[in-house]
A and B are shown apart, each in its own frame.
Chain A
Amino acid sequence: MRNCPATVARCRILVRLFLSFSALICSPAFAQAQQNNSHEELLQIPGEIGRPGGRLVVSLRGEPKTLNPLIAADARSREVIGVMQADLIHINRATQLTEPALAKSWKISPDGLIYTLVLRKGLKFSDGQPMDADDVLFSFRVYLDENTHAPQRDLLIVGGKPIAVSKIDSQTIAFQLSKPYGVGERLFDGLAILPRHLLEKPFQEGKLGQIGSLNAAANQWAGLGPFRLKEYVAGQRLVLERNPYYWKSDAKINRLPYLDELVFLFVPNADAQVLKFQSGETDMISQLGAENFSVLSRQQNGYTVADAGPGLEYNFLFFNLNDLGEKPSADLQRKQKWFREVKFRQAVSAAVDREAIVRLVYQGRGTPLWGLVTPGNKRWNDANLPHPVRSLDRARALLKEAGFSWATGPNGESTLQDSDGKPVEFSILTSSTNADRSKMAALLQDDLKQLGMRVQVVPMEFRSLLDRVTQSKEYDACIMGVASYDADPNSDINVWLSSGGTHLWNPSQPHPSTPWEAEIDRLVEDQMSARTFDQRKKLYDRAQEILAENQPMIFLASPDILAGAKNSVGNFHPAVLEPYVLWNVEQLYLKNGRESPAR
């Protein structure tokens, strides 16, 4: 071998590399990483360090029906699925911003059409099987499959076309949209990555709907969430155990979750849930009503209750503005003439005593609302929206301008009449099972009595009500409440769009029936494809203002998010987005560690 300087240099470099490499192998950090399986890339999350071990017991207001995200239609199943599955990009419920989850990084192409996500390495499902891009591909294929009718399918149709998913390599996937989508990577939140090794065969046989039943053996189902199935007793409880392959760790590189077991007790009655929490049989409680919160906050022995501030639920009154053609009775036609008059709706809004609603229905734990976006949604709330004070005089002035007048009845009370002399009477539908909205209806009834309107409150069982409002459209007015599932306005897109199914006062229009609805349609479509947050906010603010000018929905109030936990539960930080207390379940721990209260 000739002693060529280049070769010698190369050898030196090689030796140095070898030495540093062996030093690296022997270093403690690497040793620890070795413990965690040398190729695994864990997501390290900040926060209080907790103690491992223990069992947390929570109550569920009903029973989950299935563990399969493709058929889960009810809220209880979704709550349970949420702690057993994981998504590519997750919305942090506390900050309301996106953060990496199964995908450790992502890039958006300059034209906004292609999202390239890079997965973490070495991830495993809860049954120990490895996870890679093929599972992601499979999951999206199943979500988009036309014969499965998964509820997630419509989320993945952007600009009328389904998202195209392709694999770049075993750790990288590309998602191609047909139009730029302002929502961006928030799209991926909640879309669980499913185990291909368990589901591919049933999918090909068309039997996907039968997988993931709660009765199935624990080893027939797997997910990437912090917990996996341990035991299910029909009607009583669901016991989950720690997923030993979970891909998150705390700041000290301890693998999460801290808890050994998570137990869901099925308690169908809200008051029974409160009693169970008070007696110490459950460790946390969420979705507390205001009255029960007051009762619990009076004697906080061993537990704390917290008010997380205004949530995303908005309650509103709306009128029947459907275009019913020849069908409606003369009665309904006459009423619709009143409802279509903007000043009528503005007068009703001016007469509503929102402060009383917050005080009497929510015991002060709520905020009055004048728009769709609640103050709990800090990023999207329009601070410039007018908040007019309640004024019966202004309401009366508006009615007078619209051609209404008052007549004195036989008992001395004044009745409002329209320009034809007919008294103004209509009914407000409300769901009989929702106590809060029934109370709001009673308050509204009294408010409108002061204007001379005779309002009947008609409580109706919820599905009959839905049928009337969305199918037969034979109603006058209705009080409804909707809880947005995400802070981003896109989660309510079907309320905004005139063609939307939840545009309740006049749903599924073939084309917008009023100029302002057309304007809102334009604004909302534009903000969907706008690229920057500021652009979107400006468009969205303008849409909110148009809504406030025309009052198709008269917004009433929004309740605060109320929750409670035993003092022995650590890292309890209720959020205003669902799931309110279990969003950080992997970080929850018991301060007594392994001596958890096993009852």
Chain B
Amino acid sequence: MMRYLLRRLAHSFLLVFGVSVLAFLFTALAPGNYFDEMRLNPQIAPETLVALRAQYELDRPLPLRYASWLNSVLHGQMGFSFAYNSPVAPLLLARAKNTLLLTVTATLLAWALALPLGVWSAERLGRLPDRVISWGTATLLVIPDLALALGLLVLAVRTHRFPTGGMVSLDFDSLTASGKIRDLVAHMALPVAALILSALPLLVRHVRAAVAEVLHAPFLLAAEGHGIPRFTLLFRYALPAAANPLLSLFGFSIGALLSGSLLIEVVMSWPGLGPFLLEAILARDIYVVIGGVLFSTIFLAAGNFLADMLLYWLDPRIRTESASR
């Protein structure tokens, strides 16, 4: 077990390293660099641009740039942002906290909603509740994320009940502790709702499919015959048996904690990684982008690792396999 853990850790390390190399390569492939936008500024001469590029070492060969970037990672700085003229790591960390606040809440709530909805749908397969949920899923699939977020904002403006974006009000610092919590929750309501609605179709359909498959199993018939109540049957017998694909999906949910909310954060002006990374991507602030990619990779590796551990723990069939090796 310990050996497996260590092996996975080593692999994840290699993964992060590999991603950094490839990400560097990719960003170098795309044409253009940060200073290109200044090309269109009639005030700035091309010679200044050349000088700026040299100053920020953009004209050095790729391996040298990678080496100096690696060096800065080891010093905890993760490269230098051209736009902000400061190290990348503090910029990313400040915003990552805000993103996590949003996505962790949304992921937990989405799963909490998807499980009962999917189980109910599977139980009443083909009948009205299942049909209604299917229609709901199909409709949600059709609505683009951005339109959903905008629609919620319009709702906020029309009903005056929710703030139109942002994380806290202007007077946040002067509120009491409970006032602060209420303010934060009010601001989180819409982005979290948008995230949940966009994640639900996938989760509900998979829960439904997995549970529907298991519902016909003999052991459930037997358990029903024993008189075990329906709720226990569904959630303590059927769901764990159906858990295999769901655990992998849960691993993906963890993996997407940093990257899944990009568009919604932009529309809702939530001060997370979303707007920051999007601007950096379009502006070719490459070290910021690579830093963001690395953060997301860490979450991805952690999520898949967690899913594998849970799979191993919950599904005895996999355990026998490794025991027999």
Contact = CB atoms under 8 A, between A and B. Distances in A.
Touch between chains A and B, by CB atoms below 8 Å: yes
Interface of A: 57, 62-63, 65-66, 68, 71, 73-74, 149, 151-155, 209-210, 213, 215, 233-237, 263, 265-269, 271-272, 275-276, 278-279, 281, 433, 461-464, 466-468, 470-472, 482, 485, 491-495, 500-502, 508, 598-599
Contacts, number: 159
B272 interface: yes
B157 A278 contact: yes
Contacts of A495: 42
Contacts of A281: 163-164, 166
Nearest to B150: A271
A268 B84 contact: no
B321 to A, nearest CB: 47
B170 interface: yes
B157 A275 contact: yes
B137 interface: no
A468 B153 CA distance: 38
A27 to B, nearest CB: 45
B153 A272 contact: yes
B83 interface: yes
Contacts of A210: 85-86
A159 B167 CA distance: 52
Contacts of B30: 463-464
Contacts of B284: 463
Nearest to A57: B170
A235 B36 contact: no
B113 to A, nearest CB: 26
B41 interface: yes
Contact of B46 (A68, A482, A492, A501): A501
6 contacts: A213-B86, A236-B168, A278-B157, A468-B31, A485-B43, A501-B42
Contacts of A65: 83-85
B88 to A, nearest CB: 13
A266 B46 contact: no
B284 to A, nearest CB: 6
Nearest to A154: B45
Contacts of B168: 236
B6 interface: no
Contacts of A235: 94-95, 98, 167, 271-272, 275-276
B309 to A, nearest CB: 34
Nearest to B44: A151
Contacts of B48: 149, 151, 153-154
B164 A268 contact: no
A233 B271 CA distance: 9
Residues of B in contact with A, size category: 35 or more
A180 to B, nearest CB: 20
A348 to B, nearest CB: 23
A510 to B, nearest CB: 13
A155 B43 contact: yes
B51 A213 contact: no
B55 A63 contact: no
B153 A268 contact: no
Interface string B144-157: 00000010011011
A466 B46 contact: no
A265 B279 contact: no
B282 interface: yes
A466 B94 CA distance: 32
Given A71-B85, A209-B85, A268-B278, A491 B171 contact: no
Nearest to B269: A267
B169 interface: yes
Contacts of B112: none
Contacts of B85: 65-66, 68, 71, 209-210, 213
Given A57-B170, A63-B275, A215-B86, 4 more contacts: A66-B85, A266-B271, A267-B269, A275-B165
A275 B284 CA distance: 29
Contact of A463 (B32, B45, B269): B32
A74 B81 CA distance: 13
A71 to B, nearest CB: 6
A349 B167 CA distance: 49
A463 B43 contact: no
Nearest to B285: A65
Q: Determine which residue in A66, A215, A272 has the highest number of CB atoms from chain B within 10 A of its CB, and name it.
A: A272
A236 B46 contact: no
Contact of B266 (A73, A213, A268, A463): A268
Closest 3 interchain pairs by CB? A235-B271, A463-B32, A467-B31
A490 to B, nearest CB: 9
Interface in B148-207: 150, 153-154, 156-157, 160, 163-171
